[in-house]
Amino acid sequence: MTSVEAPREVRPKTRNRWWPWVLVVCIAGAAVWLFPRVTKSADTAPAAPKGGPGGGRAAARQVPVVAAAARRGDMPVYLNGLGSVTAFNTVTVKSRVDGELTRVAFTEGEFVKQGDLLAEIDPRPYEVQLSLAEAQKLRDEALLANGRLDMARYKTLMDQDALPKQQLDTQISTVAQLEATVKADQAQIDNAKLQLVYSRITSPLTGRIGLRLVDRGNIVHATDTNGLAVVTQLRPIAVLFNIAEDSLPEVSAKMRAGVKLPVIAFDRDLKKKLASGTLLTIDNQIDQASGTVRFKGEFANDDLSLFPNQFVNARLLVDTKHNTVIIPTAAIQHSPSSAFVYRVKDDKSVEVREITTSLTEGDEASVDKGLEPGDVVVIDGIDKLERGTKVVVRMAGGPPPGAAPGAGRGTAPKK
């Protein structure tokens, strides 16, 4: 008997459904990333304006600015040039005789006056020469005296016809030779005395002496190139500077009229004033390479603020523009067609005002057209402005808005 097997239960195949879980994970991650940013945006969002949308927008556009008032005054006209300080006189002190340097009588860097003793050369060789010259003169003077006596005798004998005329003429010639010899002896004496004077080296001018170039005990010669020291005149002193040739006619006209044009020397950064002087002269030719003319100014230099070969910025005052409107240069803005400023109106809004300027000096500019004295112009905070913007104004140098009275004035606190 054959047994029959029961049929097997057929189970349907299940598909792998993993992608819904991936989608859930991505959504959860995006929610975690967005949640803090949405919350922060909600916290920082401005509150709804009160009193309608117009009032809130106006309040939000109020911009704090710093402003200054236009004023009427005088504007100096300067010509600027690069220059260097030059001494009027610089002398290298040298020996005019040969010999041993026995004494150095100056201190390096001190001020010396003309005629002050600086050094001494051994004078003994020149004293000996002087003694020899004086002795030679005495000998020749004795010969001359004897020759003159003989000449007188010969003249007497000649009158008595007791002497040939030729002998008298020879004696007259001999006396003339002896007189010339005595003069030569005197010249030798003067030369020896001069050598003695040269053995004492004195300052040729009043000024400041530099470093010692030769030590005591060395043999110096009149042909030495270095010298003993250098003396430089510091009071007064000169400044040579270059100005563009276009300004030459204006300056020349004023100099011909006898006007003393002031010159101011500033430091390298053009911030610190060093000294004030006057224009002395103008060079006689134009430098074709740079198109400039060299000017020379004279400075008293009493405080020794100027030093030879020092670099300076020279400013030559050629004119003064009187009764002009002056504003800070920080207020001036430029467009492709013109210059303009932001002027603060009475309602604390700004307007764009086109201006015409002709002169800028330092931090100030002269306005020829567009502003009147008392007009308030913005000098700081301009990048946030446009026509009609409401502003909160703080005048330059004044206290900030809302400060207590007296703030920013530098008043001392009460005890």
Q: How far apart are the first and last CA of the chain?
A: 130
- What Cα–Cα distance (Å) separates residue 76 from each residue in 1, 320, 322? 138, 4, 8
- Res 50: pLDDT: 39
- Structure tokens belonging to residue 211: 């470093």
pLDDT in tens, 86-111: 999 999 999 999 999 999 999 999 99
Please give the Cα distance from 122 to 353 (Å, whole number): 83
Domains and CATH numbers, the chain: 63-75+322-395 (2.40.420.20), 78-88+236-321 (2.40.30.170), 89-119+206-232 (2.40.50.100), 123-198 (1.10.287)
Q: Sort strands 111-112 and 339-344 into parallel, antiparallel or unpaired.
A: unpaired
- What Cα–Cα distance (Å) separates residue 409 from each residue in 102, 167, 377, 397? 68, 112, 22, 9
Q: Give the chain's residues under pLDDT 70.
A: 1-22, 24-25, 30-61, 398-415
- Res 180: pLDDT: 96
In the chain, the amino acid numbered 282 is: I
Say if pTM beats, i.e. exceeds, 0.75: no
Q: Cβ contacts of residue 94 below 8 Å, gap of 6+? A: 222, 224, 227, 228
Please give the Cα distance from 73 to 350 (Å, whole number): 25
In the chain, the amino acid numbered 92 is: T
Please give the Cα distance from 399 to 393 (Å, whole number): 11
85 touches 306 (CB < 8 A): yes
- Res 398: pLDDT: 65
DSSP 349: B
Please give the Cα distance from 152 to 158 (Å, whole number): 10
Length of the chain: 415
